[in-house]
Structure 1
Amino acid sequence: MPTNVSVLSDHACELGEGPSYDPVSDTLYWFDIVNGLLLEKCLGKDGTTTIQLGQMASAQANIDGERQLILTETGLHVRDRTSGRLVLHTSVEATNAATRSNDARVHPCGALWFGTMGKQAETGAGSVYWFFRGELRQLYSGISIPNSIAFSPDGTIAYYADTAVGRIMRVACDARTGLPEGEPKVFAESESAGSFDGSVVDADGTLWNARWGEGRLAAYAPGGELVQAVLLPVSQPSCPAFVGKNADRLAVTSAWIGLSDDARRAEPDAGRTFLVDLSVKGRLEPDVLI
């Protein structure tokens, strides 16, 4: 295992995704999408807590100290942290049993961008949505695997990708609302056999992307140039998140879905969640405004 990478949680997710960090409780949250699990890990304590949600779920955002917004295959749900009670807030593609949620990120203004996709990654079955103060809009349709949703520190740029296409797109954004302005342009294209999965942008505007299929975390400068790569001990890293009170380290989820028995034996850490101990200038995730 690379010297700056360690196992943060040894729970092996079939499809780990959606990591986000709560600085108040020093807790990382993430999901095993296909098994409907929410996972919690306090960075200062041993063990990982698993919570069965009863449906596929992929991302969460902090509303306040008592509540979370959970993105599932049926929509946006408010979860009470203490009781675990889940209440539907906004329905999203709830009548379409063929789709589920995927990647998401909170814009600096408090708006949430998130994606949906076919449960079998059917071509063009997904979309990217914007949600803010109770209003829901579809931004982009015809997307197969929405990923890499992230924002510049000042909120004037949004990023997203269709993993199936192999490009991260960049679009100007209204910093007050998180809505896109103008047409998206190509920010980065895949330079290898790997795919663009989840991303997060640091305080300097560098985009950190999990490269699914090639076992690394890749950093792209604001101009789209590849400037750094961190090798990971798994072939299918899925999404990074800044963690720690100073947001100066990265947690990265991964998955074992699709690996053969032989491949899993050769990759015993597949599905685990990792801590990348780099000196990064990260950003804490803003609360979502519902």
Structure 2
Amino acid sequence: MDASVRCVLDIKAESGETPVWSVAERKLFWVDQEAHRLNGFDPVGGINESWRMPAHVSSFALRGAGDRIVVALRTGLFDFDRASGALHPIAAPPPYPVETHRYNDGRCDRQGRYLIGSVDLSYFQTKVPGNAAVYRLDGSGLTEVIGDITCSNGMAFSPDGRTMYLADSPAGVVYAFDYDIATGTPSNRRVFVERDRDDGIFDGAEVDATGGYWVCLLMKGAVARYTPDGRLDGEIPVPVLQPTKLAFGGPDLGTLYLTSAGHRHLPGDQPLGEQAGGVFAIETGFRGIAEPTYRF
């Protein structure tokens, strides 16, 4: 698959994640999880604004331009006021033991509900899978909608919003679900794609306007595109070992932005890449779909 890849922000993030393009603000918002920072990057001016969080921040959901941002910290879900820096709790305490779990990958569905998964960090010692979940935040509060996973990643929605994708990274599987757009409820869990972990570990993902599923291959240094029927359409090599998540952005949503990690996630001696932890722009010839804002 032909594509050009360039680093647009060589920031050496420890664990860059969760890029989200704001159409209203023309900025790429993203987090550095381990550095506890939420960022807003203006690719035209090359300026990156950063806000320090009091705990590990994994994901977030934008509201309107300049409005508060829903942030998923290890300690809970909060509304973050950019003007004052204040955090306001918006949900009950985390629905998991904070000693062993934290929130992980998340995003809004097409209707503006915020779905956020968790990861069971104790798995990496115990090797007991299936003790994490995915939750939905909406006007009814926080509700568990998917269980029996170990590390939630690769969350994305089809263009019509009726198919939800979710990767369980340790299992080497991306699942597809039927998604009820009226209630925000996934069902009919099935395997969408599987991959040997020695050939890349599924991480963050995005869907293009034609329904293609793009997913980062951690520890392989590549991004893969799968067709809606689960066929591998191609891979794009990237200059970092640990690509983490993707988001279409730019004026016409034609640029695929990629975050990456500068801190080594797994043991090994493979080079991480000189620009590890940077934010990259990939020109693929595909266009994305505007990310919905949180509306509940």
TM-score, length of structure 2 as denominator length: 0.90
Q: Deviations over 1:138-165 (max 9, x none)?
A: 1223322110111011111001011000
What is the identity percentage for the equivalent residue pairs of Structure 1 and Structure 2? 29
Paired residues for 1:218-229 under 5 Å: 218-229=224-235
Structure 1 residues 3 and 203: CA distance shift in structure 2, 3 A: closer
Code of the aligned partner of 1:109: Q
For 2:113, the equivalent position in structure 1 comes to 111
Stretch moving more, 118-127 or 46-55: 118-127
For 2:282, the equivalent position in structure 1 comes to 276
Code of the aligned partner of 2:190: K
Offset of residue 69 of structure 1: 1.0
- C-alpha distance in 2, partners of 1:37/1:235? 22
- For the residue of structure 2 that corresponds to 1:164, the secondary structure is helix
Stretch moving more, 127-136 or 28-37: 127-136
Alignment: residue pair count:
287
Offset of residue 245 of structure 1: 2.6
Structure 1 residues 214 and 139: CA distance shift in structure 2, 3 A: same
- C-alpha distance in 2, partners of 1:272/1:126? 29
- C-alpha distance in 1, partners of 2:60/2:263? 21
Gaps spanning 5+ residues in structure 2: where? Answer: none
Paired residues for 1:87-106 under 5 Å: 87-91=88-92, 92-93=94-95, 96-106=98-108
Q: Deviations over 1:157-186 (max 9, x none)?
A: 0010110000100010112232113x2000
Match of 1:242 among 245, 248, 265: 248
Offset of residue 56 of structure 1: 0.4
- C-alpha distance in 1, partners of 2:174/2:39? 28
Stretch moving more, 202-211 or 47-56: 47-56
- C-alpha distance in 2, partners of 1:239/1:289? 23
Structure 1 residues 225 and 9: CA distance shift in structure 2, 3 A: same
8 Å Cα contact 1:73-1:93 kept in structure 2: no
Structure 1 residues 144 and 35: CA distance shift in structure 2, 3 A: same
For 1:85, the equivalent position in structure 2 comes to 86
Offset of residue 49 of structure 1: 2.4
Q: Deviations over 1:64-98 (max 9, x none)?
A: 22121111112221112322322111132376232
For 1:14, the equivalent position in structure 2 comes to 14
Offset of residue 211 of structure 1: 0.8
TM-score, length of structure 1 as denominator length: 0.92
Paired residues for 1:116-131 under 5 Å: 116-119=118-121, 122=124, 123-131=129-137
- C-alpha distance in 2, partners of 1:87/1:187? 38
- C-alpha distance in 2, partners of 1:125/1:257? 25
Structure 1 residues 218 and 262: CA distance shift in structure 2, 3 A: closer
8 Å Cα contact 1:100-1:118 kept in structure 2: yes
8 Å Cα contact 1:127-1:143 kept in structure 2: yes
Q: Deviations over 1:23-78 (max 9, x none)?
A: 11111111111221112211211232222101001111112221211111122211
Code of the aligned partner of 2:36: G
Code of the aligned partner of 1:112: Y
For 1:31, the equivalent position in structure 2 comes to 31
Structure 1 residues 94 and 37: CA distance shift in structure 2, 3 A: farther
Gaps spanning 5+ residues in structure 1: where? Answer: none
8 Å Cα contact 1:93-1:99 kept in structure 2: no
- For the residue of structure 1 that corresponds to 2:199, the secondary structure is coil
